[in-house]
Chains A and B, each alone.
Chain A
Amino acid sequence: MNPKMIEWLYGELPGLVATGVLDEASAAGLRAHYGPLAPRRSGRLAVLIFGILGAVLIGAGVILLLAHNWDDLTRPARAVLSFLPLLLAQGLAFWVLARRPASGAWREGVSAFLFLAIGASISLVAQTYNISGDLPAFLLTWSLLGLPLVYLLDAVVPGLFYLWAITEWTCHVRWTDGYAAGYWLLLAGLVPYAAVLLRAGRYQPRPVVLLWAGCISVAVAAGTTTERVLPGLWIVLYAGLFALMFLAGEFWFGEGEGFWVRPLRHIGAGGVLVLAFLLTFEWPWHEVGWHYHRWALVADKPWRLLPDAVLGGLAPLAAIVLLATTWRRKRPLGLVMGLAPVTAVLGYALASGTHAGMAAGLFDLYLLAAGLWLLATGLRISSRSQTNIGLLAVSALIAARFFDTDLDFLLRGLLFIALGVAFLVTNLILIRRKGAAHV
């Protein structure tokens, strides 16, 4: 039961006993059944957040002071000063580990400061010796030196910094035509910690925050770690990845209450719908498929295609396997989202046979079906968010197709008014229905 409700109940008990609604024994029985009140978490969370913020601000301040590049100091003096933020943060980390190992605020705050200090020290030395920026090498060194903090101080914030750094690294390597598949090894470095956290309580704030960041990072890296040998592979890959995220969220995080505790489900669903909308246009389908392969790009190093094969092949396949189990578990929403990779594979096959228009048409049908289904079931279970998402999907589709055609402004205007009215009316109905249910 929700701790807030238990707190409310315990507040009511003395009054109920006084008015004779309950006797002492029943009140004591209720207290024994629900157990003692958990300590209030909101206070602890505030301390945690302000602890991290304070540490990050102080860390940034020290770094900026040193970045001033004091000309009056000799070169060796500046070099020694570069170690200052690092030594300070390390000293604090030792103190926390020895004296305050139980304090989440101290552990998170100090490890955040230390992670920043590592990057700062390297940057300051680079500044003292006029070393030019090799950003990918810097990011890689920084993240690898910072990763152990996650485990040693049992802290999530350095994990978030680490995810940012390796994602940024992947993008920079990709921009310079490098091979960024090492990202998956770097990501694996964080997996054991995430697994321990998730096992201890998958709806707790710390694993949830890490999972949000992880999902976003993976969504970015999936595209940047593949070679561009098979044009349009991203279509199948992302359809598979987002469907996989959604289905995994439905399977293993199904009991979470509220939007924030279910990142897999929401990033997955959002990804599927946005991707499906993009794929209703013809431009993504032009010049994709086997006929346009650029094998020459990797002819001398075919092993570079490994992430393409694994991601482009396994992500949709895994999603389809999960889809099959969804079928057995009778989870219709999973079925709608899970069909995205199947549709993508079909569309890709059609577009490879140079039927770009048909592939786009396939996604017109998919998005229309998914939108209408979300709308209809949303209305049935009186879920305003689901109804609106369904309505948004259908409206976006209609609006996009109308912009493709050369209709005059009068018709387009009338269409938008009709869509607006549809939004207002459905929401009014749902609000009324909810109101009636409460009376």
Chain B
Amino acid sequence: MYKKPLLLLGLAAASLAQLAVPGWMIVRREITLREGELFKFSTAPVDPADAFRGRYVWLRLEPDRVTVPGGAAWPDNRRAYAVLAADANGFAKVIRLDPTLPSDAPAIPVRVLWSDSRTGEVHIRWPLDRFYMEEKKAPAAEAAYRSRSRRDNRDCHVTVRVHDGNAVLENLFIDGQPIRDYLNVTGKSY
């Protein structure tokens, strides 16, 4: 259809774009991991698997509903920024929801699911719900996570780095240990 040099040039441009997308994803996450502020989030239990991306532990970060100023006014299914602060134990709490990225405090983009006009609580979904592990370790990790994150027995948390509106899940802790160490210590050699 076209001349060969033109096609090669086009392919070069397309290839660069194809490399740029995953490349930029990496750069953004690396910057966040290196320069981001560290927050701890407690987690609540849930399950499934995603065949396309290998195995991972499915997490649910807390708080998944927050009481913030003007909470009831948020429309359903909207993007928002959850502005964070740390409590006395270093765990993250949401101090307010902003429609745009605030410049004065660390924030994570979340989705407002719905708001309860009666209690003023806003139900939100965090963009962090997967912790990937090696294929064979993931089921064991998930079992450990689930046995440790029941309502009466909660000693699971994740660490998240937040920088410039980006959030990266750094590690999953069970009984105060990183999940990979925990699996080795408890003798579950998978």
Q: A123-B53, A131-B29, A148-B14 are in contact. List 9 more A-B contacts (CB 8 A).
A: A68-B54, A68-B135, A69-B54, A71-B137, A76-B30, A94-B15, A148-B11, A151-B1, A152-B11
Which residues from A are CB-within-8-Å of B130? Answer: 130-133
Cβ contact within 8 Å between A149 and B25? no
Give the residue of B13, B19, B129, B134 whose beta carbon is less than 8 angstroms from that of A71.
B134
Which A residues are in CB contact (< 8 Å) with B69? none
CB distance from B143 to the nearest CB of A (A): 17
**Chain B residues near A (Cβ < 8 Å):** 1, 4, 7-8, 10-11, 13-15, 17-19, 21-23, 25-26, 29-30, 50, 52-56, 77, 127-135, 137, 168-169, 180
Q: With a CB–CB cut-off of 8 A, which chain A residues contact B56?
A: 127, 130
A101 touches B19 (CB 8 A): no
Query: What separation, in Å, do the CA atoms of A154 and B7 have in the docked complex?
Result: 10
Most buried by A among B19, B55, B133, B169: B19
Give complex CA distance A402, B127 in Å: 53
* Closest beta carbon of chain B to A41's beta carbon, Å: 21
Q: How many residues of A contact B (CB 8 A)?
A: 44
Other-chain contact of A94, B8, B18, B26, B77 (Cβ < 8 Å): B8
CB-CB < 8 A to A123: which residues of B?
52-53
Can you list 22 pairs linking A and B with CB atoms under 8 Å apart?
A70-B134, A71-B137, A79-B26, A83-B23, A86-B22, A90-B11, A90-B15, A93-B11, A93-B15, A94-B11, A94-B15, A97-B8, A122-B25, A123-B52, A124-B22, A126-B25, A128-B132, A129-B26, A129-B168, A129-B169, A130-B56, A152-B7
List, in ascending order, chain A residues with CB within 8 A of B129's CB.
132
Please report the C-alpha to C-alpha distance between residue A246 and residue B121 in the assembled complex, in whole angstroms.
54
A71 proximity list for chain B (CB < 8 A): 133-134, 137, 180
> A47 in the interface, Cβ–Cβ < 8 Å?
no
Q: Which residues of B contact A151 (CB under 8 A)?
A: 1, 10
A71: nearest residue on chain B (CB-CB)? B134
| CB proximity of A435 to chain B, nearest CB, Å | 50
Q: Is A130 touching B169 in the complex (CB atoms < 8 A)?
A: yes
A141 touches B77 (CB 8 A): no
Q: CA separation between A410 and B131, bound complex, in Å?
A: 62
Report chain B residues within 8 Å CB of A121.
18, 21-22
Q: Does A196 contact B (CB under 8 A)?
A: yes
**B8 and A86 form a contact (CB under 8 A):** no
Residue with the greatest number of chain A CB neighbours at <10 A, chosen from B15, B19, B23, B168 = B15
A-side contacts of B4, CB under 8 Å: 97-98, 101
> Contact at B25–A69, with CB atoms within 8 Å?
no
The reply to whether A83 and B19 form a contact with Cβ atoms under 8 Å apart is: yes
Question: Quick one: CB contact mask for A273-285 with B, threshold 8 Å, 1 for yes?
Answer: 0000000000000
Q: Is the CB of A69 within 8 A of B135?
A: yes
